[in-house]
Structure 1
Amino acid sequence: MPTAELPLVTIIALCYNHARFLPQALDSILSQSYPHLEVLLVDDASTDESAVILQQYAAAHPTWRLLLLAENVGNCRAFNQAFRQSAGEFVIDFATDDVLLPHRVEHQVAAFRQAGPQCGMVYSDAELINEQGQLVRRHFRRTAQGLEPRPASGWVFADVLARYFISTPTMTMRRATLEQLGGYDETLAYEDFDFWVRASRHWQFYFQDEVTTQKRLHPQSMSRKGYRPHDPYLNSTIKVCRKALAMCRDEAERAALAVRVRWELRQAVRWRNHPEARELYRLLQKLGHLQPLDKLLGLWVRMR
Structure 2
Amino acid sequence: MTEPISTTPGTGSQPGTGTPSVAVPLVTIVALCYNHAPFLAEALDSILAQTYPNLEVILVDDASTDASLPILRRYAAAHPGWQTIFLPRNQGNCRAFNQAFRRAQGDFFIDFATDDVLLPQRVAQQVACFQQLPADYGVVYSDAELIDEASRHVRYHYRRAAHQQLHPRPASGDVFADVLRRYFISTPTMLMRRTVLEQLRGYDETLAYEDFDFWVRAARNFRFYFLDEVTTQKRLHPAAMSRRGYRPNDPFLASTIQVCRKALGLCRTPAEQAALGVRLRWELRQAVRWGNFREAHELFGLLRAVGATTILDWALGTWSAWRSR
**TM-score normalised by the chain length of structure 2:** 0.92
Consecutive unaligned residues of structure 2, counting only runs of 5 or more, are 1-6, 13-22
Match of 2:317 among 295, 298, 303: 298
Matched residue SS, 1:238:
helix
Aligned residue for 1:48? 66
What is the Cα deviation at residue 115 of structure 1? Answer: 2.1
Matched residue SS, 1:20:
helix
Instruction: State the AA in 2 paired with 1:90.
Output: F
Whether contact under 8 Å (1:225, 1:232) holds in the other structure is no
Matched residue SS, 1:57:
helix
Match of 2:226 among 207, 213, 225: 207
Instruction: State the AA in 2 paired with 1:97.
Output: D
CA separation in 2, counterparts of 1:227 and 1:128? 22
Matches within 5 A, 1:212-231: 212-231=231-250
CA separation in 2, counterparts of 1:144 and 1:264? 30
Instruction: State the AA in 1 paired with 2:93.
Output: N
Q: Does 1:189 align with 2:211?
A: no
Q: Which runs of 4+ in 1 moved over 6 A?
A: none
What is the Cα deviation at residue 2 of structure 1? Answer: 4.8
Aligned residue for 2:290? 271
Matches within 5 A, 1:10-21: 10-21=28-39
Instruction: State the AA in 2 paired with 1:127.
Output: E
Instruction: State the AA in 2 paired with 1:93.
Output: D
Matched residue SS, 1:295:
helix
Post-superposition CA distance 1:30-65 (Å, at most 9, x none) = 000001000000000000111110000000000001
CA separation in 2, counterparts of 1:98 and 1:220? 13
Match of 2:152 among 134, 140, 165: 134
Aligned residue for 1:234? 253
Which structure has the larger Rg over C-alpha atoms? 2
Aligned residue for 1:246? 265
Whether contact under 8 Å (2:144, 2:156) holds in the other structure is yes
**TM-score normalised by the chain length of structure 1:** 0.98
Whether contact under 8 Å (2:148, 2:237) holds in the other structure is yes
Aligned residue for 1:110? 128
Whether contact under 8 Å (1:149, 1:165) holds in the other structure is yes
Aligned residues: 304
CA separation in 1, counterparts of 2:53 and 2:42? 19
Aligned residue for 1:119? 137
CA separation in 2, counterparts of 1:113 and 1:292? 49
Instruction: State the AA in 1 paired with 2:138.
Output: G
Aligned residue for 1:160? 179
What is the Cα deviation at residue 229 of structure 1? Answer: 2.9
Q: Does 1:94 align with 2:112?
A: yes
Instruction: State the AA in 2 paired with 1:61.
Output: H
Post-superposition CA distance 1:94-135 (Å, at most 9, x none) = 000000000000000011112221110000000000101011
